[in-house]
């Protein structure tokens, strides 16, 4: 039926005469014929029959005659089949063209999936609903897929899809025993899973859960972390002035000019421990190629060392001073601080480069960047010739890119004797860095730390947010001066803490007029830069900074005397069961706990309140944090190393070597995607893939979308951008009526066969409606996520153009589904029973996510591919697209083959292995 799926409509109609005959005993009743017809045909039959009944019975509901009557043959009700045939003939005679009929069928077919939606959601305004129906749900005219491209499951109604048999092939450069593709255990990041600290962190905060449920009731409220226009803000004088220009986010001063003048900044620099040790530090740097600088947070090493190198003339001959940071927010904030200390404009002599943002110029001499940016630059310039000095700041955090850069520098420094490498670290891991570079010189910046008294909780804390709020209020009620720093796990916890603090303080201030206000300031990575800068400004009231673990080492806030430590953080861990990285709330390490408590001793003696017991610290925490390289997926990292001509990964100098299973699994995944050949060498496709800072499967998708076979790169760029952002759908948790409304609107966006195509639909409509926040709010969509997708789309388009990949659009959405199958064939599932699928490779049972386009559909496809799995109690497939079995055989021949009669799966495996061994032998002969 030209690529359309239809559900049968069963319509039964009995005439009034037949009902009368049924009441009396009639020797022989006419036979009623049941015939499956479409909804459109049934609707037209009902209208025609109603008109015919009105003509045959002009007197309405007159009482029927009591005498038996013989019904003439000519007046008997015709069968439904004959009426449907006549109706189609009449329509064919009246139809002006076949195109109009096809468009009408498509429209009726789409209407079938959304039938009765208006009446199912009575709270929806009918006028808005009708407008949204035409705005969101355009008519898609799909072409029939060419038979040579594989038979589509929907091209011919009732045509069954082929059966697949799964086999497993291992390339010769890998040991099949160490490829843990079926390993379902998650990497252990918790020392004791039976301990109270981990147990209560898994339950989460009750206050956060309640706030999440009530958040949508306060529609239109200002940001929870902002004090503008709040009751507390009015007391603090923080009410916004409508005539005052907002502080610019870009290029604005990071320091308050009324508080910090040029002379004050200079005096502040001179008081830093790093400034006082300048002469000794520069002497050590001049005498050694690699230096490990040990300094506590707040000593000034991050901001002062680049300026010392600049003043000593390390940029005199055109070389750059590169400073890497593990976090985007740290690179941004430190670059602004250094530019103001040097009295230059940000983007000129001092600049920064982070993902999707570059503020450097030809005049830039000090460049701050994330370690991932420097790793990307090493792809283009393996020797890093444009740099004269590299400062790797906060190396003790042991991010994945930091560890890879350390291994690369060990090779680069042997060829570039003029390059200086300075590694700054807190006390932890400093000796390991020195030993890694052949007992490199260590230099310790004298600290100015004061004693910090540590106080543990007497009992285990169940709700860490509620306990932190109570402890902050207790500290605030004390008479001792000093600001407060509270460590939370993430943005939601921080916003909830700020809200609860403001609420309880207002209640206390009503009963006690002498209580001083508390300035509550949040800090997390996605907070706008101008709001982040507020934590560094002086205030006439006590400040309370609520931060993530970014405040452990990356940022220093003066005046902190009290620290409230929840003992928890969010950790990125690779879950082989889901095949993706997940953020988990886990206990911190002892080294991180000591680092947090040290924040209270910067300006004077301090206090650290730990919201966990002393037993938990001794028995439920690791001594040091687990390096990211040992707990994350290495596919993208190994792709970069292969591009840098690191052929034998077993000989690469890792600071902490990841498990061999993790390395081989990553190489196996790259081989499946075509990035590596049968001998472990990088292919031409792999070289192209390494230029995209995204997951290898997504980079492959972008590249092959420009091939002549597909030519749908414009839509694929949109899909990749939308997959690179947090979920965009908003579903209120507290109100059933709002839930029905959001579900109804989401269904209007959906394309029946694919969630990926649904994302394309939403992105295009967002742009066509002017990227307005009001449109997103009306349609229950995340505005910030969609704005982020616009930025990523622009960046990906630039990379595509730089790689000379054509950006083409294809109106045939079946071709886009086939292109998706060509990249995600390794994540395919087969239909098991209603709503449930089973992974073809691993046998893992999965369900369709309730937000999926296919969810609740009666006739589910036999095969689907998915982008990721969500684990909420059981496994749910997220972003699902229906595919054909023939497509899986075509693009995933290393896994799948069409099932043949009389051949078992074991025989198929043996035959595939023989064919593959023969192919390898031929390739070896060609190489030799």
Domain boundaries along the sequence of the chain: 16-113, 273-444, 450-629, 816-910
**CB of 502 closer than 8 Å to CB of 217:** no
Closest to 64 in 3D by CA, of 19, 26, 30: 19
Q: How far apart are CA 51 and CA 680, in angstroms?
A: 74
State in words which class domain 273-444 has: alpha beta
The DSSP code for 439 is S
Write down the pLDDT at residue 647. 81
Write down the pLDDT at residue 392. 93
User: What number is the average pLDDT over the span 605-615?
Assistant: 92
Q: How does strand 420-425 pair with strand 560-565? A: unpaired
Q: Is the pLDDT of residue 188 over 80?
A: no
Give the CA-trace dihedral at 904, 906, 911, 914, to 10 degrees: 180
3-state secondary structure of 210: helix
Write down the pLDDT at residue 83. 56
**CB of 331 closer than 8 Å to CB of 325:** yes
Tell me which H or E stretch contains 279: helix 278-287
Highest mean pLDDT of the ranges 177-181, 555-559, 801-805, 870-874: 801-805
Q: Is the pLDDT of residue 9 over 70?
A: no
Q: Mind listing the pLDDT tens digit for each residue in 57-98? A: 544 444 444 444 443 444 444 554 555 555 555 544 444 443
Q: Mind listing the pLDDT tens digit for each residue in 532-575? A: 778 878 888 899 999 988 777 666 677 889 999 999 998 888 76
**CB of 867 closer than 8 Å to CB of 857:** no
The DSSP code for 598 is G
The DSSP code for 854 is T
Q: How far apart are CA 260 and CA 224, in angstroms?
A: 29
Decide which of 380 and 287 is more confident.
287
Q: How far apart are CA 905 and CA 174, in angstroms?
A: 23
Sorting pLDDT into bands at 50, 70 and 90, what band is 1? Answer: very low
Q: How far apart are CA 3 and CA 14, in angstroms?
A: 34
State phi, psi for 689 to the nearest 5 degrees: -65, -35
Range list of β-strands (E), 532-660: 542-547, 560-565, 568-575, 580-587, 606-610
Q: How far apart are CA 392 and CA 330, in angstroms?
A: 13
Q: What mean pLDDT, rounded, does the chain reach?
A: 76
Q: Inter-axis angle of helices 206-214 and 464-476, to 10 degrees? A: 100
Place of tokens 């900044």: 265
State phi, psi for 876 to the nearest 5 degrees: -120, 135
Closest to 672 in 3D by CA, of 827, 900, 517: 827
When computed from its CA atoms, the radius of gyration of the chain, rounded to whole angstroms, is 33
Give just the sign of the alpha carbon dihedral 900, 905, 909, 914: negative
Decide which of 231 and 469 is more confident.
469
Decide which of 423 and 259 is more confident.
423
Q: Mind listing the pLDDT tens digit for each residue in 470-499? A: 999 999 988 688 899 999 988 888 989 998
Please count the other Cβ atoms lying within 10 Å of the Cβ belonging to residue 520: 25
User: What number is the average pLDDT over the span 840-865?
Assistant: 86
Q: How far apart are CA 38 and CA 91, in angstroms?
A: 15
DSSP-assigned letters across all residues of 78-100 = PPHHHHHHHHHHHHHHH-S-HHH
Closest to 562 in 3D by CA, of 505, 498, 480: 480
**CB of 795 closer than 8 Å to CB of 830:** no
Lowest mean pLDDT across 248-257, 421-430, 475-484, 820-829:
248-257
Lowest mean pLDDT across 73-77, 591-595, 823-827, 893-897:
73-77
Place of tokens 């070896």: 924
Asked, colleague to colleague, whether 273-444 and 450-629 share their fold, the answer is yes
Q: Mind listing the pLDDT tens digit for each residue in 783-797? A: 888 998 998 999 899
3-state secondary structure of 59: coil
Q: Is the pLDDT of residue 582 over 80?
A: no
Please count the other Cβ atoms lying within 10 Å of the Cβ belonging to residue 513: 6
Share of the chain above pLDDT 90, in %: 25
Sorting pLDDT into bands at 50, 70 and 90, what band is 366? Answer: very high
Closest to 3 in 3D by CA, of 151, 163, 115, 137: 151
Range list of β-strands (E), 172-306: 290-294
Cβ burial of 914 (10 Å; 0-12, 13-18, 19+) is: exposed
The per-type count for the chain, helices as H runs and strands as E runs, is 34, 23
Q: Mind listing the pLDDT tens digit for each residue in 306-359? A: 999 999 888 888 789 999 988 887 888 889 889 988 889 988 899 999 876 788
Q: Is the pLDDT of residue 872 over 70?
A: no
Please count the other Cβ atoms lying within 10 Å of the Cβ belonging to residue 43: 13
**CB of 580 closer than 8 Å to CB of 869:** yes
Q: How far apart are CA 420 and CA 436, in angstroms?
A: 16
**CB of 675 closer than 8 Å to CB of 625:** no
Q: How far, in whole angstroms, is CA 355 from its chain's centroid?
A: 15
Task: For residue 648, give every residue at least 6 positions away whose Cβ sits within 8 Å of its Cβ, in sequence order, or none.
Answer: none
Please count the other Cβ atoms lying within 10 Å of the Cβ belonging to residue 718: 24
Q: How far apart are CA 595 and CA 312, in angstroms?
A: 32
Place of tokens 């799948």: 896
3-state secondary structure of 444: strand
Task: For residue 879, give every residue at least 6 positions away whose Cβ sits within 8 Å of its Cβ, in sequence order, or none.
Answer: 723, 755, 756, 759, 852, 866, 867, 868
DSSP-assigned letters across all residues of 239-260 = PPPTTSPPPPSSS--SS-TTT-
Write down the pLDDT at residue 29. 43
The residues with which 866 forms a beta bridge, in sequence order, are 880
Please count the other Cβ atoms lying within 10 Å of the Cβ belonging to residue 727: 13
* CA 269-270-275 angle, 5° bins: 85
Write down the pLDDT at residue 258. 37
Cβ burial of 297 (10 Å; 0-12, 13-18, 19+) is: buried
Q: Is the pLDDT of residue 506 over 70?
A: yes
Sorting pLDDT into bands at 50, 70 and 90, what band is 700? Answer: very high
Please count the other Cβ atoms lying within 10 Å of the Cβ belonging to residue 114: 16
Q: How far apart are CA 819 and CA 892, in angstroms?
A: 12
Range list of β-strands (E), 861-917: 863-871, 875-883, 896-898
Write down the pLDDT at residue 685. 92
**Span 450-629 CATH architecture:** 3-Layer(aba) Sandwich (3.40)
CA distances 39 to 6, 14, 47, 382, Å, are 9, 18, 13, 65
Write down the pLDDT at residue 928. 66
Highest mean pLDDT of the ranges 141-155, 237-251, 266-280, 812-826: 812-826
Q: Is the pLDDT of residue 21 over 60?
A: no
State phi, psi for 844 to the nearest 5 degrees: -70, 130
- Flag whether the pTM goes above 0.75: no
The residues with which 928 forms a beta bridge, in sequence order, are none
Q: How far apart are CA 791 and CA 784, in angstroms?
A: 11
Q: Mind listing the pLDDT tens digit for each residue in 270-283? A: 878 888 889 999 99
Task: For residue 628, give every residue at least 6 positions away whose Cβ sits within 8 Å of its Cβ, in sequence order, or none.
Answer: 398, 399, 400, 403, 572
User: What number is the average pLDDT over the span 357-386?
Assistant: 89
Lowest mean pLDDT across 179-183, 320-324, 701-705, 806-810:
179-183
Q: How far, in whole angstroms, is CA 805 from its chain's centroid?
A: 25
**CB of 747 closer than 8 Å to CB of 114:** yes
Closest to 522 in 3D by CA, of 547, 549, 490: 547
Q: Mind listing the pLDDT tens digit for each residue in 237-254? A: 444 333 333 333 333 343
The residues with which 560 forms a beta bridge, in sequence order, are 483
User: What number is the average pLDDT over the span 503-508?
Assistant: 90
Closest to 720 in 3D by CA, of 750, 758, 694, 746: 694
CA distances 351 to 339, 344, 346, Å, are 8, 10, 6
Q: How does strand 350-354 pair with strand 366-370? A: parallel
Q: How does strand 420-425 pair with strand 387-392? A: parallel
Write down the pLDDT at residue 727. 81
Please count the other Cβ atoms lying within 10 Å of the Cβ belonging to residue 506: 14
**CB of 896 closer than 8 Å to CB of 164:** yes
Counting every residue written for the chain, the total comes to 928
Closest to 886 in 3D by CA, of 817, 834, 796, 806: 817
Give just the sign of the alpha carbon dihedral 558, 564, 568, 570: negative
């Amino acid at each position: 039926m030209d690529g359309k799926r239809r559900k049968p409509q069963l319509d039964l109609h009995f005439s009034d005469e037949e009902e009368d005959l049924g009441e009396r005993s009639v020797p022989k009743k006419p036979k009623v014929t049941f015939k499956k017809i479409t909804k459109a045909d049934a609707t037209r039959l009902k209208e025609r029959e109603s008109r015919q009944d009105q003509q045959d019975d002009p007197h309405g509901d007159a009482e029927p005659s009591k005498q038996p009557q013989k019904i003439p043959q000519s007046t008997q009700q015709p069968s439904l089949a004959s009426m449907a045939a006549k109706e189609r003939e009449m329509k064919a005679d009246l139809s002006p063209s076949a195109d109009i009929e096809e468009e009408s069928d498509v429209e009726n077919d789409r209407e079938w999936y959304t039938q009765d939606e208006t009446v199912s959601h009575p709270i929806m305004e009918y006028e808005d609903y009708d407008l949204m129906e035409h705005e969101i749900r355009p008519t898609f005219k799909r072409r029939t897929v060419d038979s040579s491209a594989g038979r589509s499951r929907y091209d011919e109604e009732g045509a069954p899809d082929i059966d697949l048999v799964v086999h497993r092939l291992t390339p010769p450069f890998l040991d099949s025993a160490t490829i843990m593709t079926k390993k379902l255990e998650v990497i252990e990041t918790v020392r004791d899973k039976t301990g109270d600290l981990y147990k209560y962190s898994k339950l989460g905060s009750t206050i956060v859960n309640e706030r999440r449920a009530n958040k949508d009731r306060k529609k239109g409220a200002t940001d929870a972390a902002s004090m503008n226009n709040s009751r507390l803000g009015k007391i603090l004088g923080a009410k916004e002035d409508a005539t005052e220009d907002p502080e610019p986010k870009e290029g604005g001063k990071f320091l308050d000019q009324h508080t910090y003048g040029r002379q004050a900044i200079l005096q502040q620099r001179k008081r830093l421990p790093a400034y006082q040790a300048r002469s000794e530090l520069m002497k050590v740097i001049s005498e050694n190629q690699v230096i490990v600088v040990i300094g506590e947070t707040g000593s000034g090493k991050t901001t002062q060392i680049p300026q010392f190198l600049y003043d000593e003339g390390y940029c005199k001959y055109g070389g750059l001073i590169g400073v890497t940071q593990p976090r985007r927010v740290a690179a941004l904030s430190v670059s602004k601080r250094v530019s103001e200390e040097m009295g230059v404009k940000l983007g000129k002599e001092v600049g920064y480069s982070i993902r999707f943002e570059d503020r450097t110029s030809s005049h830039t001499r000090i460049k701050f960047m994330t370690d991932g940016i420097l790793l990307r630059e090493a792809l283009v310039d393996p020797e890093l010739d444009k740099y004269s000095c590299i400062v790797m700041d906060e190396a003790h955090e042991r991010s994945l890119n930091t560890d890879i850069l350390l291994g690369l520098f060990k090779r680069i420094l042997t060829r570039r004797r003029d390059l200086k490498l300075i590694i700054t670290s807190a006390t932890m891991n400093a000796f390991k860095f020195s030993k890694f570079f052949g007992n490199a010189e260590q230099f310790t910046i004298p600290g100015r730390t004061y004693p910090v008294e540590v106080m543990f909780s007497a009992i285990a804390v169940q709700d860490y947010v509620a306990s932190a709020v109570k402890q902050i209020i207790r500290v605030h009620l004390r008479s001792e001066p000093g600001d407060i720093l509270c460590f939370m796990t993430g943005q939601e916890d921080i916003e909830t803490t700020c809200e609860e603090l403001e609420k309880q303080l207002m209640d206390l201030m009503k009963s006690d007029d002498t209580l001083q206000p508390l300035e509550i300031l949040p800090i997390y990575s996605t907070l706008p830069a101008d709001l982040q800068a507020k934590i560094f400004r002086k205030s006439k009231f006590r400040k309370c900074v609520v931060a993530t673990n970014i405040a452990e080492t990356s940022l220093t806030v003066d005046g902190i005397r009290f620290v409230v430590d929840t003992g928890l953080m969010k950790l990125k861990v690779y879950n082989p069961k889901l095949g993706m990285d997940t953020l988990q709330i886990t206990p911190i390490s002892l080294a991180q706990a000591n680092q947090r408590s040290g924040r209270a001793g910067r300006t004077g003696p301090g206090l650290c309140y730990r919201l966990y017991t002393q037993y938990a610290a001794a028995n439920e925490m690791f001594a040091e944090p687990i390096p990211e390289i040992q707990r994350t997926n290495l596919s993208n990292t190994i792709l970069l190393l292969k591009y840098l001509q690191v052929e034998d990964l077993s000989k690469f100098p890792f600071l902490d070597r990841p498990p061999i299973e993790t390395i081989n699994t990553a190489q196996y995944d790259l081989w499946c995607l075509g990035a590596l050949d049968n001998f472990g060498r990088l292919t031409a496709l792999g070289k192209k893939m390494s230029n995209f800072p995204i997951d290898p499967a997504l980079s492959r998708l972008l590249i092959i979308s420009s091939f002549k076979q597909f030519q749908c790169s414009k839509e694929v760029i949109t899909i990749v951008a939308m997959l690179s952002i947090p979920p965009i759908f908003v579903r209120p948790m507290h109100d059933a009526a709002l839930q029905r409304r959001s579900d109804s609107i989401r269904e209007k966006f959906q394309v029946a066969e694919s969630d990926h195509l649904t994302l394309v639909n939403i992105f295009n409509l967002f742009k066509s409606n002017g990227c307005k926040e009001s449109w997103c709010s009306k349609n229950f969509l995340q505005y910030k996520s969609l704005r982020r997708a616009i930025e990523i789309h622009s960046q990906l388009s630039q990379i595509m153009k730089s790689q000379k990949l054509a950006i083409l659009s294809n109106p045939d959405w079946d071709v886009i589904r086939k292109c998706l199958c060509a990249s995600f064939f390794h994540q395919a599932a087969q239909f098991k029973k209603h709503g449930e699928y089973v992974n073809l490779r691993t046998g893992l049972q999965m369900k369709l996510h309730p937000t999926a386009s296919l969810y609740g559909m009666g006739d589910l496809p036999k095969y689907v591919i998915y982008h990721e799995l969500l684990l909420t109690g059981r496994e749910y497939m997220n972003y699902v697209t229906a595919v054909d079995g023939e497509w899986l055989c075509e693009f995933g021949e290393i896994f799948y083959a069409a099932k043949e009669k009389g051949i078992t799966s074991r025989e198929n495996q043996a035959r595939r292995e023989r064919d593959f061994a023969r192919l390898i032998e031929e390739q070896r002969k060609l190489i030799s």
